[in-house]
Structure 1
């Protein structure tokens, strides 16, 4: 029987009783399904419920087939090994005992002599060498440990796999390993991801919102086309609704003018004495009654039309990507922005990870720094900005600049977005501040949120608003992995903001779609140094 997962009337609330979803009915078949949605809609929670790690408040989950979930380690136990991460430590110990003549009948009955070969194949499938099983896990990078977790799934051979942001923190090779794994996968796969390249490998997309879940057949590109059609339909509906409001207003005005003319004619006749007094009283009562009924009908019709227009406008605002108009930086085309000559260095106590690096940026150039995990991309940015002293060589930034690191540390988490903006733009008044924040979708009370309470996407958007949204944006903006942990909606908002920026950009990122969307013109790939 084909593998499948079915959710029936599923409901779940957070520990503080905030509902994530209610009465959710959803089915996942024997295909690769991308699960997308804005941060906070419950994507990861839904995976944990399917895996049995969380219990729903109501409803049920039924599965056909065995299930495996990607396990990513944030902290590593000091004695953990590659075999532990692969889940094969006991099975390999059993083979070792038998080879040494120390095994018992149970060992002989349960021994899997194909395991060493399958381990080697699984490691190769995710782009890893044949690590020794007893190698300490702490000696591997986060990206290498993620690949080991993928290899564990391959070894387990489940019918259904659940992957939660599998490409986070992976370099280009690691991302390709995940894409290749899913491309070959013949069972059911449910993948939570904001990685558009990975989502292009899906057979279906499920979008989770506060209103429920919607399934789109096809991959990410097909989903994007459907959403564009939905936006066009919503805009047409809004246009129709607004025309209806205007038409009702014109009719109300025409009726009012006609009545005024009629009432005026009646008053003139009454003044001449052409109408008996008793008839005048009746005419007045009828006029007042008709006026009242017409007013109530007009108000109801206009109210219904205005409500329809308001609902249509809200749908358009939800579907419309962020579009930002920014103050020009005034950066001349030929102006030298950054110079680095023979830069060598790295964290204290280890051999230099950056060696003899040189870079010259001029004008509003957009440059990306790429490279495998551990090649020193973040270290390089810190050296270029002077946050980390170089062992040798020089680095100079020759224009006003700002750097948004992975934690957006230039913002004070104890202050509101508004107060951070004013602190970073001391010459701005309240009107300028509110206008700039509104362009990045922090309107009214949203601008008063404390930075420490923001999500990752909101944090980066607030950082962009506070740095490039004012009257004097920096002429060079430096970004370190800006799309890490952001949902697709947040990434698209950041892309829109950066497309409106006319200064120079220096960006570290593994996200090829993001780099393409913001118009990167030059890419510098760092290689791993043999230390």
Structure 2
């Protein structure tokens, strides 16, 4: 990431760009976690960064996450009369109320003493967001704030953003969240470009801009071709004149002094003409380069999934009276019934902790039910958000070969190239990949083999993909002719892949139950 020029003020700005282009790096520069190698960075006011991932110990509490543990201990000593005089002077009697207020703003039912390890992934994300807004910073930096959040959590983040009156820069692939921005900044290999308005407005302007840039490039290329043709014609004319002069000199019917003068004049004229045509060709090449520079040269992610051959009346999956529990007498869910026939497209939704991922494990045979039976009747493949089926110590190519032993070398390379892992890129070690790259590699390895699954099970597939990759995956899944079972809180994604049924795991006193929703997303 080089040559970035930005000015951010008291506004809500979305930062978008492909995986690996430097969005998170820019946030860490603005937060002070990193220093720029060159250039000037000026920050006026207090900046807080909500981190994308929270690593915690077993004993860390929300107070530790907020950085207020010492201040709370002073309050406790003040309350029981053991605080020193200087501690009483430093005591913040509004602290606990402000903690409750920050947690309330993200709809998190917890307290300062709650251990972070006891929270679900979505609750940890909310806790991190509450910690970032706790002391009312002048500028808030959010890195994928709706990842791992259920629908209620996503709505809480959107309400927070809508009511935020200080500065805000958010990296996100949540299109509904980005539609609440005042401006969009696109980060590419060419730099940073600002677009006024929200995500929808940005996409409209981007389409117009790219169309104009492509027209300018086509015109410049046409002018370059004309300049080259003109240069070629000038060269051919010179060669003909030189040949005619040589023939006349050979006949000896021209005085030697006149022949020498004409030769000198021709050489002078030819040299001048050559320099002129060369300059015209160079100018045309520069115009093409300038036009092409306006278009970021990006490889398109093109995902084409093979036909599965799934018949419309083929029984795919049956769950009958299924129960699951992690502790005796504390069922996670109970008496679940589900049937999938033919290429249905089913979304499973529900709050964080309702058991959605566990249900997928039961269906895939990775975990047995406590009661009831699961009957999966077609070949299936599971792609979880952590892509756990990939060997992190092996290359992408080796993982593909392991999962698709019947595919030859050319087939392996061709599939991976379609997922933008061309040539040496296919030899990258999986453990070194970004989250988005890893998910892309997982999809390639699971779906690119010669025998595609007839049931595809996806667990939060868009969590780590950039927006262009999400759109490519949406297009591919829309054309997929097998059955789909998807856990996702991304309403836009579910709409784009044409979900036909929506099932919600709804918590109850004796575990969650499965309900079908005919309209909307639960």
Bucket of the pairwise TM-score, normalised by the shorter protein: 0.7 to 0.9
Residues 332 and 297 (structure 1), Cα distance of their counterparts in 2 relative to 1, 3 Å cut: farther
Is the 1:457–1:491 contact (alpha carbons within 8 Å) kept by the matching residues of 2?
no
Is the 1:234–1:312 contact (alpha carbons within 8 Å) kept by the matching residues of 2?
yes
Give 1:497's aligned residue: 476
Give 2:360's aligned residue: 381
Q: Within 5 Å, give how 1:122-521 maps onto structure 2.
A: 122-129=102-109, 131-244=110-223, 318=297, 321-347=300-326, 351-521=330-500
Residues 255 and 158 (structure 1), Cα distance of their counterparts in 2 relative to 1, 3 Å cut: closer
Following superposition, the deviation at residue 529 of structure 1 comes to: 4.6
Is the 1:322–1:496 contact (alpha carbons within 8 Å) kept by the matching residues of 2?
no
Following superposition, the deviation at residue 135 of structure 1 comes to: 3.5
Residues 164 and 286 (structure 1), Cα distance of their counterparts in 2 relative to 1, 3 Å cut: same
Q: Which segment is superposed worse, 101-110 or 176-185?
A: 101-110
Give 1:61's aligned residue: 41
Summarize deviations over 1:3-22 as a string: whole Å, max 9, x none. Answer: xxxxxxxxxxxxxxxxx335
Q: Secondary structure at the match of 1:208?
A: strand
Following superposition, the deviation at residue 419 of structure 1 comes to: 3.9
Does residue 43 of structure 1 match 2:23? yes
Following superposition, the deviation at residue 52 of structure 1 comes to: 2.5
Is the 1:458–1:490 contact (alpha carbons within 8 Å) kept by the matching residues of 2?
no
Q: Which segment is superposed worse, 406-415 or 365-374?
A: 406-415
Give 2:11's aligned residue: 31
Q: Quick one: distance in 1 between partners of 2:405 and 2:272?
A: 58
Q: Secondary structure at the match of 2:60?
A: coil
Is the 1:322–1:497 contact (alpha carbons within 8 Å) kept by the matching residues of 2?
no
Q: Secondary structure at the match of 1:62?
A: coil
Summarize deviations over 1:60-116 as a string: whole Å, max 9, x none. Answer: 432332333335773333433343334444444444444445555545544444444
Q: Which segment is superposed worse, 508-517 or 449-458?
A: 449-458
Q: Quick one: distance in 2 between partners of 1:50 and 1:234?
A: 31
Residues 482 and 310 (structure 1), Cα distance of their counterparts in 2 relative to 1, 3 Å cut: farther
Does residue 21 of structure 1 match 2:2? yes
Q: Secondary structure at the match of 2:42?
A: strand
Q: Within 5 Å, give how 1:92-107 maps onto structure 2.
A: 92-103=72-83, 105-106=85-86
Q: Quick one: distance in 2 between partners of 1:339 and 1:287?
A: 89
Q: Quick one: distance in 2 between partners of 1:187 and 1:462?
A: 39
Is the 2:190–2:296 contact (alpha carbons within 8 Å) kept by the matching residues of 1?
no
Q: Quick one: distance in 2 between partners of 1:101 and 1:450?
A: 59
Q: Quick one: distance in 2 between partners of 1:57 and 1:257?
A: 53
Is the 1:375–1:529 contact (alpha carbons within 8 Å) kept by the matching residues of 2?
no
Does residue 523 of structure 1 match 2:487? no
Residues 98 and 292 (structure 1), Cα distance of their counterparts in 2 relative to 1, 3 Å cut: closer
Q: Which segment is superposed worse, 112-121 or 365-374?
A: 112-121
Is the 2:54–2:124 contact (alpha carbons within 8 Å) kept by the matching residues of 1?
no
Q: Secondary structure at the match of 1:324?
A: coil
Summarize deviations over 1:181-232 as a string: whole Å, max 9, x none. Answer: 1111111112222222222222122222333322222222222222222322
Is the 2:231–2:281 contact (alpha carbons within 8 Å) kept by the matching residues of 1?
no
Give 1:81's aligned residue: 61
Following superposition, the deviation at residue 497 of structure 1 comes to: 3.3
Q: Which segment is superposed worse, 103-112 or 48-57?
A: 103-112
Q: Quick one: distance in 1 between partners of 2:476 and 2:30?
A: 36
RMSD: 4.0
The unaligned stretches of length 5 or more in structure 1 are 1-19
Q: Which segment is superposed worse, 504-513 or 322-331?
A: 322-331
Is the 1:461–1:494 contact (alpha carbons within 8 Å) kept by the matching residues of 2?
no
Q: Which segment is superposed worse, 434-443 or 68-77?
A: 68-77
Following superposition, the deviation at residue 244 of structure 1 comes to: 4.5
Q: Quick one: distance in 1 between partners of 2:328 and 2:276?
A: 81
Q: Which segment is superposed worse, 192-201 or 109-118?
A: 109-118
Give 2:519's aligned residue: none
Q: Which segment is superposed worse, 340-349 or 296-305?
A: 296-305
The unaligned stretches of length 5 or more in structure 2 are 512-522
Summarize deviations over 1:117-140 as a string: whole Å, max 9, x none. Answer: 4443333221123x4443434332
Is the 2:347–2:494 contact (alpha carbons within 8 Å) kept by the matching residues of 1?
yes
Residues 237 and 439 (structure 1), Cα distance of their counterparts in 2 relative to 1, 3 Å cut: farther
Normalization by structure 1: what TM-score?
Answer: 0.80
Following superposition, the deviation at residue 374 of structure 1 comes to: 1.0
Question: In the comparison of the two structures, how many residue pairs are matched?
Answer: 509
Q: Quick one: distance in 1 between partners of 2:408 and 2:292?
A: 31
